[in-house]
Structure formats: structure tokens, C-alpha cells
Amino acid sequence: MTQSNKYQMMVISTTPNLANQLQSDLSEYDFTQYQTVSSAIEACHIRQPEILLFDAQLGGEALLTGLKTLPSGDKIPVVLLVDDDTDATIERITSLGFFDYLLKPVRSSLVGYRIRHILVLSQIYQMQQALRQSEERHRMISNTISDYAYSYIVLEDGSLKKEWSTQAFHDITEYTFQEVDNGGWERLIHPEDIPVAMKRYERLMRGERDVTEFRILTKSGKVRWLLDHGYPVVNERGKVTHIYGAAQDITQRKEDEWMLRQQAEELRIRNEELDAFAYTVAHDLKNPIASMMGFASLMQNYYHKMDEEKILEYLGLITESGYKLKEIINALLLLAGVSKEKEPDITPLDMKIIVDDSKRRLSQLAEETQAEIVYPDDFPIAVGYAPWVEEIWANYLSNAFKYGGRPAKVTVGSDMPQNGTIRFWVRDNGRGLTAEEQSRVFTPFTRLNQVKIEGHGLGLSIVQRIVHRLGGEVGLRSVVGEGSEFSFTLPEWDGTL
């Protein structure tokens, strides 16, 4: 198409340079932009556009009034640019007679897709209105568009008889039109969307244009989304005699929208976790820092009055607080590593060696708490990332040593594999947790201060994040007075490398 013969697209919007953006991305069309309805209608008197993109914020009623002053102004397809696609918005668009809508901010790729779709529909509608096009022409159109178009004759009893359809119907649905035309539509429409399809049929039979999204089931059982535009033709007696339309496969768009919603939900959860994380870390850091500052201040002010034993005691307490700070910082570094690591190196795990290493790391704590730990020589083989799995055991064992009985008696073990999953566990002889405490113990960055279980919040949050990244789940069984069992699951090794 030469420059002078390009389709004319008019944009009525106060968004700066919107037409320039569309012109740059969709050079096969000519775009012009107007800021007001009045200036746009004045331009339409000189040359009417093929399609009009209109920002709904400027007032749809004013535009409709202006279009009535134009020759064939009611035949210009108007696409509304709206802020949302709620049912109320779509109902208002339909009731006012607008052709279609697009969500803001406008994306050039979707505008181009809509323009192509509308131009095809307009051509088909005009051809059928004039009754001048042959079946050969319909087949030519069928071979040049990827969305499918169709035409139905409305019989006296209100039933529909297919007049023609494009080849793309088979490409999208995998059915021939004959297969669904002979009572097979129930198989095509997704069962949950049959009420939607029935309401669409009722609107079309009332002579109303309709734009509806619904799901279909292809012949192979796949679920696909369609955006179906329907245009009824009404005779001089007010009876619908034909229904023309075109359906657009919007499955990819729906999948993208679902993905965006998932990402938005994940971002919301992460933001909530971040707030809780900041609160928890502030409290975890506050105590050792306050302790160090307090004892350092006492020594600074009263050093000359202290004997050597008191000085060594205060230095020991400052050192102990420093080690606590180091533990917290190491935990934060581990958490950052878990969050940033894209694809950890998943290998078969020798769980006995990993538990040995975790126990060795905690040897001083085990000695201080007089902990007794028992575990088997062999474990079922799971797969995971060994450095992270060692941190899981270190957190569970550390909590069992600290919050078990005195002396702490700790048992480590595993269950037989079930459904490709292995459950590993650590049991202690502590006081146990109430049902309410159990429900909150793995909540990200919470801590059970009221029961003096300091340290669970950050450590167990890290454990949960690691286990989820490795494809497993964390668990807790606890009875007050009988101790607790903390567990995690990992995928079973399938024998391959």
C-alpha cells in the first residue's frame, strides 16, 4: 500500500505523542491525533478515518453526538481506551454501541492486532451487507487471515445454520465446521462458559452487537481463549436474519495476563516479607549491639574502678555479643544467596556426611547444652544442593540443642520414600509448642518472643525458603510436654545423574 493509500487512523486523546508512538511502531497505517472531540469531528468532515481510537476519559456521549453529524459517521469503528475491563465497563461500552476497547497504557502490538482484526471484520460486514461477494471471495479471505470469520443464517425457529466460515476455524479448534454445526457446539464450548455463550446468543438475537471472551475445548482437549465479535443483521421487520462475526485466539494474551497477576501477587508477598524481614532483623541486631554498647560504656566510664575479673567478664560479654552479630550477618548472607541463586547444582546427596558436617559445626553448642544426638548410618538418597541442605540440618539441630530438654536428647531420621519424595526429621525433648505457635512458627520472619523462643524467626524462614527452592516442603509436629519434630522433604533420587 502506497503512502497516499494507507488506512487512516484517528487518535483522540490527551496522552502526549500517542499517535507518534503508534506511527513509529505501525508504519503501515497513518495516525493523526487530536486533543478534543470538537477538533477531531471537524477533521472528520474533511476525511473520515477507517478506525477511531478514543480515550474514554474525554466523554463517550460527546463523541457519539459528534459522529451523528457526519455522513456515515455511525459506521466508523470506535475503539475505546479505558482504565479497566470490569464487567461494568464492558457493559457500558456495549450499551453505547462502541466497537471494541483497549486497556491503557496502550501497547502498539495490541493496537496493530485490533486494527487488523477490525479491518477484516469491516470488509466482511460490508461484503455481506451488499450481498455482492461470492464463496470464492470468502475462501480468499480465509486464506489471508489467521483469526477465523463466520456467517450464520438465523432460521425461523431461532436456530443457526452455518453459511460459511474461514479455514482458520479448523486451525484454532481442530474441528471442521461440519463437526460442530451438527449439534456439536456443546463439545466446543468449555462447560464452565456455556452460560456465557448462551447470554451472548440472547444479545445477538435481540439485534445487539456483542464482544465476548470465552473458552473452548479443542478436539485434542486443549483449552483456548477466544475473543468473539458478533454482528447481527436485522431486516425491515426488526428480525435478526444473519449473524456475522470473527473470533480472535487470545490464549497467549490470557496466559500472559495470568502470569502478570502471579508476578504481582508474588511481588506483593515479597514486599510484605521485606517489611517483616526489616522488622525482624532490626530486633535481632538490636540486642547484641545494645549489649556491646552497654558494657563498653561501663568500661569506658568505670574502668579505673574495676578489678581484673570484672573487666574480663565484660570483655567476654562483648565478645559473645559480637559472635551473635556474626551469626545474624551470616544468616542474612545465606538468605541473600538463596534468593539470588538462579539454578543451584542439584545432585544426589550423601545425607550421613551432611549431618556429620552440621553436627561438627555445632559441637560447641552441643557441649554447652549437654546434647545427645542419635542418627542412622544410612539415609535414603535424595537430590538437592548440598550447601543449602547442610544449612537446613544446622538450623534444625541448633534449635533442638537450644530448646530441647536438659540434657537435650535429639533424634535424627527419615521416612521411607513415598511418591518420589523423602521426609527427613529432627525430634527433640523440649516443652513442645501449642497449636497457635505451630501455625506461626514458619511464617516468614515472625518470632515467638512471648514464649522466649528467640532465633526461630530468621532461621526457620531461611529453612523454608531453601526447602521450597529445592522442591520440598517443611513440616512441624509438636505436643506440649512431649517435644517437637521439625521435618523437610526432598525429591528422591531416580538413579540418573
pLDDT for 311: 86
pLDDT for 192: 92
pLDDT grade for 424, boundaries at 50, 70 and 90: very high
Phi then psi dihedrals of residue 51, to 5 deg:
-140, 145
Taking the CA atoms of the chain, what radius of gyration do you get in angstroms? 35
Residue scoring higher pLDDT (292 or 489): 489
Does 482 lie in the same domain as 349? yes
pLDDT digits (tens, 9 = 90+) for 39-51: 999 999 988 898 9
Does 211 lie in the same domain as 153? yes
Does 492 lie in the same domain as 361? yes
Is the pLDDT assigned to residue 457 strictly greater than 60?
Answer: no
Does 122 lie in the same domain as 79? yes
pLDDT digits (tens, 9 = 90+) for 209-237: 999 999 999 988 899 999 998 899 988 88
Q: What percent of the chain has pLDDT over 70?
A: 83
CATH number of the domain enclosing 458: 3.30.565.10
List the single range of 399-403, 425-429, 435-439 with lowest mean pLDDT: 435-439
CATH number of the domain enclosing 276: 1.10.287.130
Residues 6+ apart with CB under 8 A from 173: 180, 188, 216, 218, 219, 224
Does 217 lie in the same domain as 336? no
Domain boundary among the residues 325, 340, 355 is at: 340
Is the pLDDT assigned to residue 147 strictly greater than 80?
Answer: no
Does 279 lie in the same domain as 233? no
Residue scoring higher pLDDT (448 or 260): 260
pLDDT for 139: 52
List the single range of 190-199, 294-303, 451-460 with lowest mean pLDDT: 451-460
Domain range for 29? 1-131
Domain boundary among the residues 249, 269, 290 is at: 249
pLDDT digits (tens, 9 = 90+) for 168-187: 788 888 887 777 766 667 67
pLDDT for 36: 92
pLDDT grade for 451, boundaries at 50, 70 and 90: very low
Kindly report the pTM of this predicted structure: 0.43
Does 122 lie in the same domain as 55? yes
Does 92 lie in the same domain as 1? yes
Does 375 lie in the same domain as 236? no
Does 489 lie in the same domain as 358? yes
Is the pLDDT assigned to residue 428 strictly greater than 60?
Answer: yes
Residues 111-138 have a mean pLDDT of 68
Q: What percent of the chain has pLDDT over 90?
A: 29
Query: Residue 230: beta bridge partners?
Result: 210, 245
Is the pLDDT assigned to residue 135 strictly greater than 70?
Answer: no
How many structural domains compose the chain? 4
Does 59 lie in the same domain as 37? yes
Residues 384-400 have a mean pLDDT of 89
Is the pLDDT assigned to residue 203 strictly greater than 90?
Answer: yes
pLDDT digits (tens, 9 = 90+) for 271-282: 766 665 565 566
Domain boundary among the residues 218, 249, 280 is at: 249
pLDDT for 1: 40
Does 496 lie in the same domain as 363? yes
Residue scoring higher pLDDT (270 or 303): 303
pLDDT digits (tens, 9 = 90+) for 120-132: 877 766 666 665 5
